[in-house]
């Protein structure tokens, strides 16, 4: 990463380095290199402070689904600001976009998930789910039902509770998490299953592990299971066929609520507005979503509840409790206006259909990289993909972390005009949904060159 050459951007670079605490940042390298300043954007491209243009292979952070620079979004946002930029929705006030978007989400969500609570992003949507679940079981008189089960390598956010539910062990180093309430079972990663084990046996073993965990903790104490349909930040893990359906059956057996974290998978990334039912055949009790809900144009998250849960939490409570949960910005009208316009654009342009076509091409083209010496696995679905790099394709042994292979590949890509996300030894791809065949061909050629250049470096430095 290099400092911008242009004077005004250099000043920005310096202000950022000296004063801005970046999220999720290794401060030691940050202090050396500072940031790449992003100054402009258009459709699938972003432009840095020096005017260099990059294809954004990660859609900001799995979120710019409709692409950058949509004038219609700017207009919808500006119009709402002029009309009424803010009003609290506490108690009995609302705004037009908050109500309309809730109805639209109820229409799009599967089954009888008809009731929407708003927050500012995915972490808060998951924290909200926990608070609602606890309130729900308290009102049912099942006060011991409080524990949450989630998976190693699942990612659910960065607030205290959401990070505790997260199972990416690296993310917990140096921090404390809630250990009384949250329990993890293992990750259903088919690539890392024991050699020789069938996918079906592997799947059944993971499902059995959930049942064993519920029985170990006691069904009367377990409130909910949290899972992403496809794990994102944990390395784009697609579970074996039938996994979610079998897991849901175990949850139902023990009265455990199933929360589907669709923060990444909703709004077109897998070719559907919601993936739980359309892609994996399950109707969960709660869906959490954010990111693609506004395509990142403004912050917004939602927790969508079934009729059954809503009925319990909304009836007059014996203990006099009311629903004392909410934020100043719950249902922010400008964010909701952005959400409505975003969904309108997705529907009008049939972006889900486009993802189903172009996503198949993207998957197939990425798989051609499997002939490269370090590409051990190419996995994911549609516009949610990952390349796992390994030292030995037979044994699946990892490359020494000191080699920072994911970062090296990302740097080579960036020097060639493509942004991909390094994730330890992996690289993740989650482009805007407006990607064309030409864009995909450019991405594949650039990845191939970048991985080849990385292999040469690793060999010359003795890492391979």
Q: Which residues bind ligand PMP (CB under 6 A)?
A: 121-123, 126, 155-158, 228, 232-233, 261, 263-264, 290
DSSP string covering 323-335, please?
-----TTTT-HHH
Using CA atoms, how far apart are residues 219 and 118, in angstroms rounded to an integer? Answer: 30
Helices 333-348 & 71-83, crossing angle to 10 degrees? 150
What distance in Å separates the CA atoms of residue 11 and residue 15, rounded to the nearest whole number?
Answer: 6
CB of 288: closest distance to ligand PMP in angstroms? 7
Q: 218: Cβ–Cβ under 8 A, 6 or more apart, which residues?
A: none
Sheet architecture: strand order including 45-48: 38-42, 45-48, 53-56, 418-419
Nearest to 265 by CA among 59, 63, 56: 63
Q: Which is nearer to ligand PMP, 158 or 407 (CB)?
A: 158
With the C-alpha atoms ordered 29, 30, 32, 38, is the resulting torsion angle positive or negative? Answer: positive
Between CA 49 and CA 38 the distance in angstroms is 6
- Specify the residue, 257 or 399, whose C-beta has the smaller distance to ligand PMP: 257
Closest CA relative to residue 118, chosen from 437, 266, 333: 333
Least distance from C-beta 421 to ligand PMP, angstroms?
A: 11
Nearest distance from residue 424's CB to ligand PMP, in Å? 15
Nearer to ligand PMP by Cβ, of 259 and 375: the residue is 259
Least spacing, CB of residue 280 vs ligand PMP, in Å: 14
Residue 153: CB minimum distance to ligand PMP, A? 11
Minimum CB distance to ligand PMP, residue 274 (Å): 13
Return the residue nearest ligand PMP (CB atom).
122
**Residue 256 or 263 having the CB closest to ligand PMP:** 263
Contact 374, 389 (CB under 8 A): yes
Q: How far is the CB of 255 from ligand PMP (least distance, A)?
A: 25
How many other β-carbons are positioned within 10 Å of the β-carbon of residue 316? Answer: 7
Smallest distance, ligand PMP to C-beta of residue 147, A: 20
Q: Which is nearer to ligand PMP, 433 or 455 (CB)?
A: 433
**Cβ closer to ligand PMP: 121 or 406?**
121
Dihedral in degrees, nearest 10, Cα atoms 158, 428, 402, 169: 30
Q: What is the spatial distance between Cα 330 and Cα 33, in angstroms, rounded to a whole number?
A: 37
**Nearest to ligand PMP of 59, 97 (CB atom):** 59
User: What is the C-alpha end-to-end distance of the chain, expressed in Å?
Assistant: 25
Please, which residue, 142 or 159, has the CB nearer to ligand PMP? 159
Q: How far is the CB of 301 from ligand PMP (least distance, A)?
A: 6
CB of 278 to ligand PMP, least distance (A): 17
User: Shortest approach of ligand PMP to residue 159 CB, angstroms?
Assistant: 7
Q: Is 365 exposed, middle or buried (0-12, 13-18, 19+ CB in 10 A)?
A: middle
Minimum CB distance to ligand PMP, residue 119 (Å): 9
Q: Which is nearer to ligand PMP, 166 or 389 (CB)?
A: 166
Residues 6+ apart with CB under 8 A from 120: 299, 300, 301, 327, 329, 332, 335
Nearer to ligand PMP, 13 or 118 (CB): 118
∠ CA 272-274-276, nearest 5°, is 110
> Between residues 126 and 450, which has the closer beta carbon with respect to ligand PMP?
126
Nearer to ligand PMP, 289 or 334 (CB): 289
Contact criterion met (CB below 8 Å) for 314 and 150: no
Rounded to 10°, the helix 437-460/405-415 angle is: 130
Q: Tokens 């400092």 label which residue?
A: 3
The answer to whether the beta carbons of residues 55 and 443 sit under 8 Å apart is yes
């Amino acid at each position: 990463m290099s400092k911008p050459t242009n004077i005004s951007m250099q000043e920005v670079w310096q202000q950022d380095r000296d004063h801005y605490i970046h999220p999720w940042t290794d401060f030691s390298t940050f202090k050396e290199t500072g940031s790449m300043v992003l100054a402009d954007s258009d459709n699938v491209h972003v432009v840095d402070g020096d005017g260099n243009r990059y294809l954004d292979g990660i859609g900001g952070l799995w979120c710019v689904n409709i692409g950058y620079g949509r004038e219609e979004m700017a207009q919808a946002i500006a119009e709402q600001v002029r009309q009424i930029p803010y009003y609290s929705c506490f108690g009995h006030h609302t705004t037009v976009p908050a109500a309309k978007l809730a109805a639209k989400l109820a229409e799009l969500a599967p089954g009888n998930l008809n009731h929407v609570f708003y927050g500012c992003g995915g972490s808060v949507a998951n924290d909200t789910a926990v608070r609602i679940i606890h309130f729900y079981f308290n009102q049912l008189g099942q006060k011991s039902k409080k524990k949450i089960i989630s998976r190693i390598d699942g990612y659910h956010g960065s607030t205290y509770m959401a990070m505790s539910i997260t199972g990416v062990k690296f993310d917990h180093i140096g921090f404390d998490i809630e250990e009384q309430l949250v329990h993890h079972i293992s990750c259903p990663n088919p690539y890392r299953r024991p050699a020789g084990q069938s996918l079906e046996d592997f799947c059944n073993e993971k499902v059995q592990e959930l049942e064993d965990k519920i029985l170990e903790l006691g069904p009367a104490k377990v409130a909910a299971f949290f899972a992403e349909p496809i794990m994102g930040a944990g390395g784009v893990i697609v579970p074996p066929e039938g996994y979610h359906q079998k897991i849901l059956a175990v949850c139902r057996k023990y009265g455990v609520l199933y929360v589907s974290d669709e923060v990444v998978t909703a709004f077109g990334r897998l070719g559907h507005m919601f993936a739980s039912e359309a892609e994996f055949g399950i109707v969960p009790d709660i869906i959490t979503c954010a990111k693609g809900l506004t395509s990142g144009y403004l912050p917004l998250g939602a927790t969508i509840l079934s009729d059954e849960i809503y009925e319990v939490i909304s009836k007059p409570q014996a203990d006099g409790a009311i629903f004392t949960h909410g934020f100043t910005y719950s249902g922010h009208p400008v964010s909701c206006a952005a959400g409505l316009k975003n969904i309108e654009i997705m529907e009008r342009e049939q972006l889900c259909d486009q993802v189903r076509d172009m996503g198949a091409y993207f998957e197939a083209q990425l798989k051609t990289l499997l002939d490269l010496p370090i590409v051990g696995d190419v996995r994911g679905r549609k516009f949610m993909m990952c390349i796992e790099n390994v030292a030995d394709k037979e044994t699946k042994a990892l490359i020494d972390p000191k080699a920072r292979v994911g970062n090296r590949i990302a740097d080579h890509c960036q020097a060639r005009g493509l942004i991909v996300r390094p994730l330890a030894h992996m690289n993740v791809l989650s482009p805007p949904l407006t990607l064309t065949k030409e864009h995909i061909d450019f991405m594949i050629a650039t990845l191939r060159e970048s991985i080849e250049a990385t292999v040469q470096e690793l060999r010359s430095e003795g890492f391979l």
